[in-house]
Chains A and B, each alone.
Chain A
């Protein structure tokens, strides 16, 4: 799953992602609450509200060791990518791929 610490562009939100934090509009009203599943409809709603990026919930703890190893390796590969948004986008996309692709 994407790194929950960095905002994820709407176009790159993976399937089954959830909001890590409530998203408010400029006037302070709640657009979507924390924990909301980011369905295509929810993403459209964010886009219509002028929201470009959101923070995603960290994935639920998994007992599956290979998944953890794959994500740890990704963090190691991207260890110098801070401050380079394209590399962080790529990391998110690969994290989702590693968690969903069949071996």
Chain B
């Protein structure tokens, strides 16, 4: 008897065709990502680019003036926010807001839990940032990689909703990880889909590699950004931030855990940092 889900297998050509039909990201997102690898980037130029998107500006100023930062005076403009909060913070917040604005709009129908997706992504971004020095990565790259690590799930929900529903059914039936269900049903996983998407959108290679490799032990050498995201993903599942009843902590690849070498005090500090930052970011993104 043939496998009833075999017609759902996704081959690379089908994936590439579907990704090619997706809309482009706003230029501001790529500008923000690419500027992270450019030490000579001008904060004035970046501020001018962000300022061109009024919805983005409004969200950023709302967060900058939230109780999370506890500032003594009101931040009134993006250059002002860069002065008060620093270039890195503003860039990370802008990236978060721009990505969620752009990608969130396309995924509100069907079985896909958009809110849980973004809550998890924000948690992994914050956790990856907190772990970055343990992996000798920049905090900003770590944040960006964490934020987009599951972007392949948005590809599935947008381009292949029937496939995603079958994956969801499989996962409920066998109480397994999402990527395990995806391999069983689709013959690929959201990491590979996300990697194909980010490469097609021209993301920096290190970010695409982290997206593609975060569930793949063969690509998880202990010092890579993918390893950092792998561990941040597991910790975020364990912190139970997405709000999913069936949440499940994935297996952690031992070399990644050992590379982090977290002491008791460090792990407690990271849990606290992630949970505190999480509430502020979710408030900004209306994910509460």
Contacts and interface: CB of A to CB of B under 8 A. Distances in A.
Interface of A: 11-14, 73-74, 77-81, 84-87, 89-91, 93-94, 96-97, 100-101
B36 to A, nearest CB: 28
Nearest to B256: A86
Contacts of B111: none
Contact of A91 (B238, B250, B263, B264): B238
A11 B263 contact: yes
A94 B251 contact: no
A77 B237 contact: yes
Contacts of B234: 87, 90
19 contacts: A74-B238, A79-B248, A80-B177, A81-B251, A84-B252, A87-B234, A87-B249, A87-B250, A90-B238, A90-B252, A90-B257, A91-B238, A93-B262, A93-B264, A93-B267, A94-B238, A96-B268, A97-B268, A97-B271
Contacts of B239: 94
Taking residues whose C-beta sits less than 8 angstroms from the other chain, chain B's interface range is 20 to 34
Interface string B166-198: 000000000111000000000000000000000
A85 to B, nearest CB: 7
Contacts of B254: 85-86
Contacts of A79: 175, 248
A14 B264 contact: yes
Contact of A80 (B238, B248, B268): B248
B272 A81 contact: no
Contacts of B249: 77-78, 80-81, 87, 90-91
Contacts of B263: 11
Nearest to B248: A80
A73 B267 CA distance: 19
Contact of A90 (B235, B247, B248, B253): B235
B221 interface: no
